[in-house]
């Protein structure tokens, strides 16, 4: 929900602990997602469908944004800090993953910020990290990760972590390997499997997950990117149990079956695709955020729609609503 990289990284220099299978070849042809909403987001992320609207964050602009299809105007809530990810709560508030804290936002009808109440500090003693990708698990707990944003960040600088936050238990760190950039957080339909990645590893992993105890086990490889320029960003699971991943650097969103095999690749007119989501009134709309950061002037001139929302109407309903946060 969750970002990607401030600049295109070099492939990791360290050897991963788990041997990777041969990547699945890409499909011979790639369908396109059309422009849904022209925007110039520096770092669009965290896309989700709630309350009849699309919601996302422009992390670097420190804003939460909402748009109802058919309307010209985008509503914008300006925040005191960068927003990595967020979740809608049962109370009507929004749980915000700001850079160094979780906070409850009370929003007005025009998305104005009426109140902001801190729920929990995150990594208070670690100045190099900020909150990044996150979403609710199937039980309504907020699961998120952090990233190392030190300017001298290297692929081996694995200091970021994954957490679960609940109103009942507060903040609990998940016993997952430390990462440089936490991303791709999503859950199987039964909620018992968690997907996640370190973007710099170019691999998505999965593990057994228990929402009640915040315990994880059996960490294993799910899939490996099939292109050297593909960096896994946000992911979501569809109604058939397949995982869709936005690949930063390729302009693609890819669909994998439950065994991690590449099924479909769709292309958008922006190299830095960041987060897919399903929604619309009938669950048949696939939408995708993108970013402008990390693109040089020549690339931006060639891809002027970078930072926009892209979409495609699907032949069947694949959307699974995100659980509301249990506050």
Q: What is the pLDDT of residues 251-278, one digit of tens each?
A: 999 999 999 999 999 999 999 999 999 9
Q: Give the pLDDT score at 153.
A: 54
* Residue-level pLDDT at 130: 96
Paired with 88 in beta bridges are 94
Q: Which CATH class is domain 31-313?
A: mainly beta
26, pLDDT greater than 50: no
End-to-end C-alpha distance for the chain, whole angstroms: 19
- The pairing of beta strand 285-290 with beta strand 309-313: antiparallel
Which CB contacts under 8 angstroms, 24+ apart, belong to 56-64?
56/275, 56/289, 56/309, 57/83, 57/84, 57/85, 57/86, 59/3, 59/83, 59/84, 60/293, 64/94, 64/96, 64/105, 64/111
Report CA Rg, the chain: 18
Per-residue pLDDT at 64 exceeds 80: yes
Tokens standing for residue 313: 């109407």
Q: What is the pLDDT of residue 10?
A: 34
- Residue 116 β-bridge partners: 105
Res 216 pLDDT > 90: yes
Statement: residue 13 has pLDDT above 50: no
Q: Assess whether pLDDT exceeds 90 at residue 233.
A: yes
Q: How far apart are CA 250 and CA 309, in angstroms?
A: 16
Task: Match 């694995």 to its residue by tokens.
Answer: 158
pLDDT band at 8 (very low <50, low <70, confident <90, very high): very low
Check residue 151 and give its pLDDT. Answer: 66
pLDDT at 152: 59
Residues 123-166 pLDDT 10s: 999 999 999 999 999 999 999 999 998 865 554 467 889 999 99
Considering the chain, what percentage of its residues have pLDDT values greater than 90? 85
pLDDT, tens digit, 9 for 90 and up, residues 293-325: 999 999 999 999 999 999 999 999 999 999 999
Locate 70 and state its tokens: 């058919």
Q: How many residues does the chain have?
A: 327
Residue 4 is predicted with a pLDDT of 43
Mean pLDDT across the stretch 103-117? 97
């Amino acid at each position: 929900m969750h970002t990607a990289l401030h600049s295109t990284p070099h492939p990791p220099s360290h050897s991963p602990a788990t041997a990777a299978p041969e990547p699945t070849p890409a499909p011979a042809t790639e369908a396109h997602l059309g422009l849904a909403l022209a925007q110039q987001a520096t770092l669009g992320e965290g896309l989700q469908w709630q309350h009849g609207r699309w919601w996302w964050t422009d992390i670097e602009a420190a804003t939460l944004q909402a748009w109802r299809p058919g309307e010209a105007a985008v509503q914008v809530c300006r925040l005191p800090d960068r927003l990595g990810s967020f979740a809608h709560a049962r109370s009507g508030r929004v749980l915000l993953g700001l850079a160094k804290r979780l906070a409850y936002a009370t929003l007005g009808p025009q998305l104005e910020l009426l109140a902001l109440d801190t729920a929990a500090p995150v990594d208070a003693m670690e100045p190099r990290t900020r909150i990044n990708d996150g979403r609710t698990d199937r039980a309504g707990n907020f699961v998120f990760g952090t990233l190392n944003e030190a300017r001298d960040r290297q692929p081996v600088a694995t200091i970021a972590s994954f957490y679960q936050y609940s109103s009942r238990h507060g903040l609990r760190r998940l016993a997952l390997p430390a990462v440089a950039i936490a991303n791709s957080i999503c859950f199987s339909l039964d909620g018992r499997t968690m997907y996640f990645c370190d973007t710099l590893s170019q691999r998505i992993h999965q593990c057994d997950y228990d929402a009640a105890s915040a315990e994880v086990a059996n960490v294993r490889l799910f899939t490996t990117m099939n292109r050297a320029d593909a960096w896994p960003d946000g992911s979501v699971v569809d109604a058939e149990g397949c995982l869709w991943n936005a690949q930063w650097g390729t302009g693609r969103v890819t669909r994998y079956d439950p065994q991690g095999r590449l099924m479909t690749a769709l292309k958008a007119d922006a190299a830095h695709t960041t987060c897919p989501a399903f929604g619309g009134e009938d669950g048949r709309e696939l939408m995708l955020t993108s970013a402008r950061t990390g693109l040089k002037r020549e690339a931006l001139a060639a891809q002027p729609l970078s930072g926009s929302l892209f979409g495609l109407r699907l032949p069947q309903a694949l959307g699974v609503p995100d659980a509301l946060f249990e506050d």
